[in-house]
Amino acid sequence: MADLTLADNDLLKRAFLRIQQDVDVRFDAFLPIPSDSRARLVEAMRYATIGGGKRVRPLLTVATAALFNVSRDAAVRAGCAVEAIHAYSLIHDDLPCMDDDTLRHGKPTVHLAFDEATAVLAGDSLHALAFEVLSMPETSGDPFVRAEMVAALAEASGFSGMAGGQMMDIAAEGADFDLHTITRLQQLKTGALLGAAVELGAILGRLPDESRGNLRNYARDIGLAFQITDDLLDVEGDEDAAGKALRKDDKAGKATFVSLMGADDARRQVGALIDQAIGHLAIYGSEADLLRALARFIQNRDR
């Protein structure tokens, strides 16, 4: 099993601190508060994006782009676009008509801190912001790169990706889904956006489509591992550390990796996926150490 070494820990700690600061600074700049009644909307968008979340997705974009010597500024901006999609999806998923959650990143969810209408609009506006950021010449001077990033993120976000997975997740309540269907569901719900985070880094790095296989396989494996650890944390985790409600799947009678495989096999499966993910990086040298450490972090995460 791939444990986190001291070197990994140090690398990750610095990388997370730096991306968290960078992402906060960017959203602060993207979201100036207007001097009219849209102020409340933009405050809700800031509440959902600044100062919360681990920033796994922007870090994936930045760590992938770094393989190809992309400017950090461009990679952070693209990572913020992925994070904006992630943040919008959390706002909408937390709504009373969806998961009806009250806590997110240790704070009241947006519809409680503001109201439901503002939450719907804040999610919608972050969705649009993601594509606005990707299409700016400041993010890439090459329009082909901009258009390709938009295509990848839009596909990951819509009915053939994240939103489709969320729909399947709703249908999973009380349904008798098997492991194959759960895997497919999670590949869409969580995996598509993690995959897009890596893909945007590769696009910024001008890696040709046909050379992205290893990185896509890496993203697919850590994405699935990420979701299995999420299921494990839902069963075994600490609500304070997670900053959100846990034990929800069991209450909703949803099949999960853990309910279908058992906790021990699920943990073994995570180990195998992480080893496999790291194997896909074999063609890269030490420049991929952060991606390797990120994979091991996912295996060992406690929130």
For residue 209, the minimal CB distance to its own copies (Å) is: 12
Distance from C-alpha of 75 to C-alpha of 61, rounded to nearest angstrom: 6
Q: Which residues inside 177-216 make contact with its own copies, applying CB under 8 A? A: 181, 184
CA angle 197, 58, 87 (to 5 degrees): 90
Cβ proximity to its own copies, 118 vs 229, nearer residue: 118
Contact between 112 and its own copies per CB under 8 A? no
Does 116 bind its own copies (CB under 8 A)? Our answer is yes
Of these, 66, 75, 168, 198, which contacts its own copies (CB under 8 A)?
168
Of residues 17, 117, 241, 272, which one binds its own copies by CB under 8 A? 117
| Other Cβ atoms closer than 10 A to 103 | 15
From 233, 232, 229, 216, select the one nearest 276 (Cα to Cα): 216
Q: Count Cβ atoms within 10 A of the Cβ of residue 14 and give its class: 0-12 exposed, 13-18 middle, 19 or more buried.
A: exposed
Does position 37 interact with its own copies (CB under 8 A)? The reply is yes
The count of other CB atoms within 10 Å of the CB of residue 167 is: 14
Length of the chain in terms of residues written = 303
Contact partners, residue 29, CB within 8 Å, separation at least 6: none
By the rule CB under 8 A, 127 interacts with its own copies: yes
163 is a contact residue toward its own copies (CB under 8 A): yes
| Binding flag, residue 259, its own copies (CB under 8 A) | no
CB 296 within 8 A of CB 251: no
51 torsion bin: left (phi>0), alpha (psi -120 to 50), beta (else):
left
Q: From the list 2, 4, 113, 170, which residue makes contact with its own copies (rule: CB under 8 A)?
A: 170
| H helix runs in 96-212, sequence order | 110-113, 116-134, 143-157, 162-172, 179-186, 192-204
**Residue 154 touches its own copies, criterion: CB under 8 A:** yes
Binding residue for its own copies, selected from 132, 235, 275, 301, defined by CB under 8 A = 132
Nearer to its own copies, 120 or 246 (CB): 120
Which listed residue (49, 61, 64, 157) binds its own copies by CB under 8 A? Answer: 157
CB nearer to its own copies: pick between 2 and 154: 154
How many C-beta atoms surround the C-beta of residue 194 within 10 A?
24
Instruction: Note the residues at the interface with its own copies (CB under 8 A).
Output: 31, 34, 36-38, 40-42, 45, 88-89, 92, 95, 97-98, 115-118, 120-121, 123-125, 127-129, 131-132, 134-136, 143-144, 146-148, 150-151, 153-155, 157-159, 161, 163-164, 166-168, 170-172, 175, 181, 184
